[in-house]
């Protein structure tokens, strides 16, 4: 059977139409990766040279998987001849071939976000600017936005509108910081992630011969996730495709959620204007989710005005209705979701890998972490500190970076005195001052103090010369030893391994640091041996690959059995049998920051659409009636997005939950929708409205802090510990505590305003 027979009719015509401008609008779960993969394989079968194909993705992982799948169809050797990878990885190679044209060495370092912010922080300090006004994150974001819109430092400072904006925010010196930052990066032979796209545009703009060469090379261009492209990416693709216009873009406007990174939904919406003779294909059959989830998601996204209409459908089973759960507080929400996962795993014999908790912001994870830990449910938070951002890993990588590029000043500052070798902060600052005075690098100064007089004593100079000699000895082996052998030598000779070995007796954290270094070296060894041929893989090659890793590429431990917790942005491209979308409250989701315009609100709605369509079998929506913000409880109202789902697909929690607060995914729900509008209460089974937090406080025997007026001797029930008897009361007002004896858990002391106790009749 031909691989084409695996495709449905819509997918097949999109695969077989290989000439001209083509746009494939692919609904969630519609098999777009398969279409993109098979299209490339089909192109090669039709005689198109893989050297003439450029395929751009948003993760290296996706590119590798596609290359492997194409290789199984047409042969692995030929598949490797395709230029396939992320925008940053593909164009970083292009820049290395042409670096001299734009004033960079071909071994330029790629700064990560930490490196960039560290340099900006130094510049702000050198300019004697107030770091409370010139906050590093805000300055970095401003520079990043300028680069993504191809605004040079000179153009930035010469633009009256931009200058006025900076003056209004009391940061008129950002342009000068941007200029200094760009100069310092170039002097250090370094580019940041934004530079990889910025300088590619500069190269194609200023050197017509380079543009012509790559137009002839890349005669067939395919772009995945086109809705996520920014202006710089859009312009690169448009320039390269101009000669032959054999361009195929694949994406879904309904999943455009990265405007904060510069992504512009207009790129996909305006494709027909750029290529009037384009052909449009729609992939509308969803293979992932139940009919209920697909139709519920459709009912929400149709509220957006800015979109390319499509009718997503599925042949999958009907599936249960989407559950909607209200909790009194964010802590109770954590317990409710944890209990639901625990019970559903038991009742359906699922694994924890089947569950995902999705939230709008990272700070929401705390309540769910605590609740899952108490139930001994394993979990993993995605999007936290990645392996390559750990201190010990960054330290060793800095040695690798300096070995490949001794002018890399951020790497230099990081490890010149680690492990400690007696080169103090003052000496380092004096070296930087001297380097700036003579307009050279720190490395130049450290190599020749006679040529660049510096206020550093002779003893420190001797230590610096020893350090320089060590780095030079590493650099001399760069093209002689393979990546692993040199990395192993550096780890031992630099003193890092010795330092960590001496610390490992201190505690588990120190042991983990050493294990992380060992894991890194094991990864480099695997990299060195991974080639199918005898190609020499240097440490520089490894560093290029590491520098271009995306968040998705860094995910590890997928085989482990754990509940996944992540922001909705991080969940894009993933799927789970059971999902829990939490914190569905106005001003949280949709975010308060996204309510200034229709376009911002529509992106929040697209984000909710992405969240819903991660679910395969079941989905639970959760919100809290009150949430602690800056230590104070704030009354919340349910998100408008719940109200926007067609009521036929929703099932609401009854007011009286089962004892213990469990079985949220099972029975005990009402199918009444909201009784119209966001400000009206949600209906219950009896037809009586669920009471607000204020109403609950007024109708129950509570004090002014809202907790029940409990006394010694009362029988009560706790969500987790079950039934018990109050044996002691202490404190007053907001600090009032109760000691309760629970037959199965012993005595527990709880703070009444957080305990969510229920008074039981004797």
The upper half-sphere exposure of residue 758, i.e. CA atoms within 13 Å in the direction of its Cβ, equals 16
Active site annotation includes 147? no
Pairing of strands 220-223, 53-57: parallel
Per the DSSP assignment, residues forming a β-bridge with 390 are none
CA dihedral for 78, 81, 83, 86, sign (positive or negative): positive
Active site annotation includes 224? yes
The b/e string for 598-616 (b: 16+ C-beta within 10 A; e otherwise) is: eeebbbbbbbbbbbbbbbb
16, 33, 80, 166: which is the annotated catalytic residue? 33
The b/e string for 738-760 (b: 16+ C-beta within 10 A; e otherwise) is: bebebeeeeeeebebbebbbeee
Active site annotation includes 32? yes
Q: What is the dihedral of CA 509, 511, 516, 517, to 10 degrees?
A: 130
Pairing of strands 322-329, 615-629: parallel
- What gap in Å lies between CA 478 and CA 303, rounded to an integer? 57
Active site annotation includes 614? yes
- How far are the Cα atoms of 3, 366, 384, 426 from residue 361, in angstroms, in the given order? 41, 11, 12, 40
Q: Which of 143, 261, 125 is nearest to 192 (CA)?
A: 143
86, 255, 329, 364: which is the annotated catalytic residue? 255
224, 330, 395, 409: which is the annotated catalytic residue? 224
Beta strands in 535-602 (DSSP E): 563-567, 576-581
Q: What angle do CA 359, 578, 340 make, to 5 degrees?
A: 80
- What gap in Å lies between CA 575 and CA 578, rounded to an integer? 9
The upper half-sphere exposure of residue 289, i.e. CA atoms within 13 Å in the direction of its Cβ, equals 33
Active site annotation includes 33? yes
142, 614, 627, 657: which is the annotated catalytic residue? 614
Helix, strand, or coil (residue 667): coil
DSSP string covering 706-752 = SSB---TT-EEEETTTEEEEEEEEE--GGG-EEEEEETTTEEEEEEH
- What gap in Å lies between CA 167 and CA 335, rounded to an integer? 47
Angle between helices 458-476 and 483-493 (to 10 degrees): 160
Pairing of strands 576-581, 650-653: unpaired
CA dihedral for 65, 66, 67, 70, sign (positive or negative): positive
225, 354, 409, 555: which is the annotated catalytic residue? 225
Q: What angle do CA 253, 257, 260 make, to 5 degrees?
A: 135
Q: What angle do CA 143, 144, 146 make, to 5 degrees?
A: 65
11, 22, 32, 292: which is the annotated catalytic residue? 32
- How many CB atoms sit inside 10 A of residue 444's CB? 17
Q: Which residues are catalytic?
A: 32-33, 224-225, 255, 614
């Amino acid at each position: 059977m031909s691989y084409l027979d695996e495709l449905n009719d819509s997918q097949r015509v999109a695969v077989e139409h290989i000439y001209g401008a083509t746009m494939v609008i692919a609904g969630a779960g519609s098999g777009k990766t398969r279409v993109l993969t098979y299209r490339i394989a089909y192109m090669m079968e039709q005689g198109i040279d893989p050297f003439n194909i450029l395929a751009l993705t948003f993760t290296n992982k996706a590119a590798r998987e596609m290359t492997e799948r194409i290789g199984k169809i047409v042969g692995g050797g030929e598949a490797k001849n395709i230029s396939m990878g992320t925008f940053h990885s593909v164009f970083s190679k292009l820049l290395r071939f042409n670096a001299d044209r734009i004033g960079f060495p071909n071994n330029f370092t790629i700064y990560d976000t930490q490196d960039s912010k560290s340099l900006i922080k130094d510049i702000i300090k050198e300019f004697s600017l107030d770091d409370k006004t010139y906050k590093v994150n805000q300055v970095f974001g401003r520079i990043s936005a300028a680069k993504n819109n191809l605004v040079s430092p000179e153009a930035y400072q010469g633009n009256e509108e931009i200058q006025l904006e900076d003056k209004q925010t009391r940061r008129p010196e950002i342009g000068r910081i941007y200029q200094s930052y760009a100069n310092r990066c170039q002097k250090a032979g370094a580019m940041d992630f934004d530079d990889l796209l910025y300088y590619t545009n500069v190269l194609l703009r200023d050197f017509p011969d380079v543009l012509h060469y790559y137009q002839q090379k890349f005669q067939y261009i395919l772009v995945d996730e086109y809705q996520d492209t920014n202006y710089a990416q859009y312009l690169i693709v448009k320039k390269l495709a101009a000669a032959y216009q054999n361009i195929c873009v694949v994406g879904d406007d309904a999943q455009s959620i990265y405007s904060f990174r510069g992504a512009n939904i207009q790129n996909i919406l305006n494709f027909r204007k750029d290529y009037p003779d384009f052909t449009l294909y729609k992939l509308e059959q969803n293979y992932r989710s139940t009919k209920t989830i697909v139709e519920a998601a459709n009912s929400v996204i149709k509220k957006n005005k800015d979109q390319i209409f499509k009718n997503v459908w599925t042949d999958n089973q009907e599936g249960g209705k989407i559950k909607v759960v209200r909790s009194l507080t964010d802590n109770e929400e954590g317990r409710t979701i944890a209990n639901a996962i625990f019970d559903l795993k038991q009742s359906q014999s699922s694994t924890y890998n089947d569950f995902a908790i999705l939230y709008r912001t990272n700070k929401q994870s705390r309540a769910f972490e605590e609740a899952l830990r108490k139930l001994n449910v394993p979990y993993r938070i995605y999007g936290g500190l990645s392996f390559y951002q750990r201190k010990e890993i960054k330290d060793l990588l800095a040695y690798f970076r300096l070995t490949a590029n001794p002018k890399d000043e951020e790497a230099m500052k990081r490890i010149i005195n680690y492990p400690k070798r007696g080169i103090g902060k003052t000496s380092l600052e004096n070296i930087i001052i001297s380097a700036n005075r003579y307009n050279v690098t720190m490395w130049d100064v450290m190599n020749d103090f006679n040529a660049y007089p510096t206020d550093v004593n002779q003893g420190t100079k001797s230590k610096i010369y020893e350090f320089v000699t060590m780095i030079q000895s590493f650099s001399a082996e760069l093209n002689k030893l393979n990546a692993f052998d040199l990395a192993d030598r550096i780890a031992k000779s630099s003193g890092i391994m010795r330092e960590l070995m001496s610390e490992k007796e201190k505690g588990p954290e120190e042991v983990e640091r050493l294990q992380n270094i060992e894991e890194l070296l094991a990864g480099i060894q695997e990299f060195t041996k991974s080639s199918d041929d005898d190609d020499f893989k240097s440490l520089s090659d490894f560093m290029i690959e590491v520098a271009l890793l995306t968040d998705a590429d860094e995910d590890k431990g997928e085989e482990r059995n754990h509940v996944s917790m992540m922001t909705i942005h991080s969940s894009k491209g993933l799927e789970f049998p059971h999902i829990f979308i939490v914190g569905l409250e106005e001003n949280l989701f949709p975010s308060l920051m996204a309510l200034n315009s229709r376009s911002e609100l529509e992106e929040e709605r697209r984000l909710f659409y992405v969240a819903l369509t991660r679910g395969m079998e079941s989905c639970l929506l959760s919100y809290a009636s009150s949430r602690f913000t800056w230590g104070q409880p704030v009354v919340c109202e349910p998100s408008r997005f719940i109200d926007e789902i067609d009521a036929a697909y929703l099932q609401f929690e009854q007011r009286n939950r089962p004892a213990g607060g469990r079985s949220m995914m099972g029975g005990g729900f009402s199918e009444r929708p909201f009784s119209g509008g966001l400000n009206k209460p949600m209906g219950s089974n009896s037809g009586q409205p669920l009471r607000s937090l204020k109403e609950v406080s007024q109708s129950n025997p509570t004090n002014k802090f809202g907790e029940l007026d409990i006394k010694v001797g009362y029988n009560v029930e706790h969500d987790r510990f079950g039934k018990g008897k109050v044996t002691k009361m202490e404190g007053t007002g907001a600090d009032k505590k109760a000691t309760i004896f629970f037959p199965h858990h012993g005595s527990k002391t709880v703070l009444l305003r957080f305990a969510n106790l229920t008074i039981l009749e004797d």
